[in-house]
Chains A and B, each alone.
Chain A
Amino acid sequence: MMLRDWNPSIKGLAIILAVILLSLTFDPVTPLLALAFTILFTFGLGRVPWRKWLLGFAPFLIMGFGYVWTALLFPRSADPAASAVLWQWGSFIVIEATFHQALSLGLRVLIFSALSLIFILTTDPVRFMLSLMQQCKLSPKWAYGILAGYRFLPFFKEELRILQHAHRMRGVERERGWKNKLRAWKRYAIPLLASAIRKSERVAAAMISKGFSGRRDRTYYTELRVTWKDWLLLALLLGGITLCYYLSWKLGYTQWYRGQL
């Protein structure tokens, strides 16, 4: 539950700092340790349903694997003699340095996505916007505008479904080939855009009719403050990652990123 109550601005800051910190290394061990720590952090401090987490993580897992694979197939380090050969199949040679590099790249994708998932899965969009207004002095015009837009996303999905049905009903057959697909998108785009513009006008009118003027001096029903607990969580996340660095350095793996690739 603690992660949900973490002030979204501080949470965002902590995660950005963590990402920067982890982008400094180019060995596979540090991100691996950090990944383990992040997962522990996520499930230990926030009641995140594991199915939801896996659903969010799965695409990155595939992406990470893709990175590893490409890095193996097209190695950049030109000198195979400098490092031990791990595996050879015909002209396809995998040397240790390449392997480490590939792993490091793949794990990077995973750790960054695991960190982002902390934010995505434990942050209420309304609290996020409120915090941006109250802590980061974002203009209410933007904050409430973004929230109103966020509300609409599911409607567009629904509307696209209806459009597809309606056009099928008119006898437009399923699009084959990229040319027809492109034409189909044009057919869908116009009504979708028309309704988006209309909806945005309506919601703007509704907001004004409720007295919204975009002024910054407004009272807040939910006041978000930054307390020592927020900083403690930040320290915990960054401290944990520093610890991972220390461990991997002790084990002799730490390797700074010096613009490889």
Chain B
Amino acid sequence: MTAGQLLATGRSHSASVPAGDDQHDSRKAIMAEGLALAFEEHDAPVLANIDAAVHDGETVLLLGPSGCGKSSLAFCLTGLYPYAIDSHVEGRVSIYGKPLADYESGDIAQLIGIVFQDFESQFCMLRVEEEIAFCLENWNCPRADMDHIIREVLDKVGLNDWRHAFIHELSGGMKQKLALACALALRTRMLVLDEPTSNLDPYARRQFANLVTELALKEGLTLLIIEHQLDDWIGIANRLLVMDADGTIVYDGLPAPYFKHHVAEAKAHGIWLPRALELQQALAEDLSMVGKATDVSSRDFADIAEDADDPPLTEQQLLAKLSSLPRDAQATALSLLTPLKTKRSYTEDRVFLQAHELVFRRKGRAVIDGVSLTLRAGEWVALVGPNGAGKSTLASLLSGLTQPDEGNILLQGIHLHRYAERELRAFIGYVFQNPEHQFIADTVRDELAFGLRRQGISEEDVQSQVTDTLTRFRLTKIADANPFALSQGQKRRLSVAAVLTDSQQLLMCDEPTYGQDAYASKQLMDMLHSRVQAGSAVLMITHDMEWVEAYADRVIVLSEGQIRYDGSPASLWTEHASLLEANHLRMPMNYSVAGRLRTQLAEGGERR
């Protein structure tokens, strides 16, 4: 798939006309008609009235707000529902021209492979080699062939050196590669990727996306991709399927027209926009303002906001678009892309927490190895680094949940261990990665009241505060529900709301936006932001450099238990770029586009 094909427009984009190679038109990998799914017979359906098709050789991106049933749809289409999990499925699904019901159990696996989101619970064997052998045994592959097939598929995903390793010792990215190798061992013609990279660090994420792209091309695989963060995938997608919160498909067609005509709708549904598109929109706005203010070549600036063209969806396309601008407009765009953030003036400069030479060992190995840092009031600090760098361990040391083996932590000048548990919890709050872990009470209302009651506030005040919080976090309707019965987004909101009612000064957040849609994430970030402005400090563990760029005042790079960098995000992107790859990070798109544009400009200047 070339960029040209991607950008090809002017056709009508109904579902029946797939983009890309036309010779595959007749072959339909998956066909669904009138598909509906409910988990209980009389319950409201999760999916309703779905007509969808995936053509052979196509790459389809399935988007939708969190909890809308994207994964459920993918599992229906691949025959996992209702076979593997009790559910009621209506409608017709056929796979490669044959109705689902006509397949023997186990046969579909040889046509469609799945890589799941939760990389821990998709294996049943202990070692890498055994897991692939398990797949081969399932289709009765002759024993004599197994050895070389295992070698071949491990080679394709680059895991041959780990053939005899235990699966639990692999990193998250490697586990997903192993899942991919399993699909290859089954010789599938199609791959379903169910948010495979949502819990990987940026480097592993891109590596995995590149691997899938390369394999799909080489093996001619059909792809159905579900992913919140679509920047890694949008470039290879031929078609979009967009679902709304009610579990129906609202768009089926080429990616470019969707992001051209339905941006407002996408935003309302909480669907992530490609970062390139967001940047372009922001630039167009800024450029037109600059143009108006200076009244210089405003016509050129207007170009970028021009409606006639397809919007840029990838970094490459954004760069191309910017390169086509006149030179002076490019220079303006450059300065707008990487604005100098006005550094927050630490008027009070109150030090909350000071850690000195922390060491923490697990099984003799130093997980945290000589970490010193300071957290001040009104500061938003991002803690980044590769998977397994010790980020969560550091956060739990700083919040006093675990004791360091060496070194000390001062909270407002007093040793952490001299605080009473109650005082400590009143000062430091912690938002865990999985919201369920934090739930204590039986109803949403009690959950929110729990922290308040502990502060010894009168029951009347507690009730009024709870009611207030319920409305603020849009939880009123479900005030009497059990926290565990909520949707993913509601759970996250509740867990954050419950922590925020406790008015702690220092908040630790462990990947708070994990698995959240665009709307929920943005809202959460804004909430934390307002806390920071009110003088609290936030320490946020994250893999998402775009959030770091957008919100953090300071970024700490942690790798192998040691701090590699501690300073402003802007200077990390521009002056310490070598640190990024070494620590599995990635430059935010505005900086990488700006960097490439600058190089182009410089080269152009020399030529002239």
Contacts and interface: CB of A to CB of B under 8 A. Distances in A.
Interface in B86-139: 104-107, 109-110, 112-114, 116, 118, 120-127, 129-130, 133-139
Contacts of A211: 106-107, 109-110, 135, 138-139, 186
A148 B134 CA distance: 12
Contacts of A201: 84-85
B450 interface: yes
B80 to A, nearest CB: 5
Contact of A205 (B75, B425, B454, B498): B75
B142 interface: yes
B440 A167 contact: yes
A151 B124 contact: yes
Given A205-B85, A218-B138, A223-B143, A126 B126 contact: yes
A190 B114 CA distance: 29
A211 B42 CA distance: 31
Contact of B130 (A126, A195, A217): A126
A210 B182 contact: yes
B109 A208 contact: yes
Contacts of A217: 140
Interface string A186-225: 0100110011000101111111111111010111111100
B401 A210 contact: no
Interface string B473-492: 00000000000100000000
Nearest to B430: A169
A213 B84 CA distance: 10
A151 B168 contact: yes
B209 interface: no
What size tier do the contact residues of chain B reach?
Answer: 35 or more
B432 A147 contact: no
Contacts, number: 163
Contacts of B133: 221-222
B396 interface: yes
A205 B186 contact: no
A154 B143 contact: no
Interface stretch (A24-32, A44-52, A95-103, A170-178): A170-178
A206 B430 contact: no
B437 interface: yes
A76 interface: no
A166 interface: yes
Contacts of B125: 126, 147, 151
A66 interface: no
A190 B401 contact: no
A157 to B, nearest CB: 12
A172 B438 CA distance: 11
B116 A202 contact: yes
A132 B226 CA distance: 39
B78 interface: yes
A221 B143 contact: yes
B418 to A, nearest CB: 17
Given A147-B125, A206-B123, A211-B106, A195 B436 contact: yes
A210 B140 contact: no
Contacts of A124: 126
Given A169-B430, A211-B106, A213-B105, A221 B130 contact: yes
B421 interface: yes
Given A124-B126, A219-B146, 9 more contacts: A152-B121, A169-B401, A169-B438, A170-B498, A171-B502, A187-B440, A191-B484, A208-B105, A219-B136
Closest 7 CB pairs of A and B: A211-B109, A221-B133, A213-B106, A211-B138, A206-B122, A148-B124, A166-B437
30 contacts: A124-B126, A147-B124, A147-B125, A148-B123, A151-B124, A151-B125, A152-B121, A165-B432, A166-B437, A170-B438, A171-B450, A171-B451, A171-B454, A191-B436, A191-B439, A191-B484, A202-B122, A203-B121, A204-B85, A206-B114, A208-B84, A208-B106, A209-B109, A209-B114, A211-B110, A212-B109, A221-B133, A221-B146, A221-B150, A222-B133
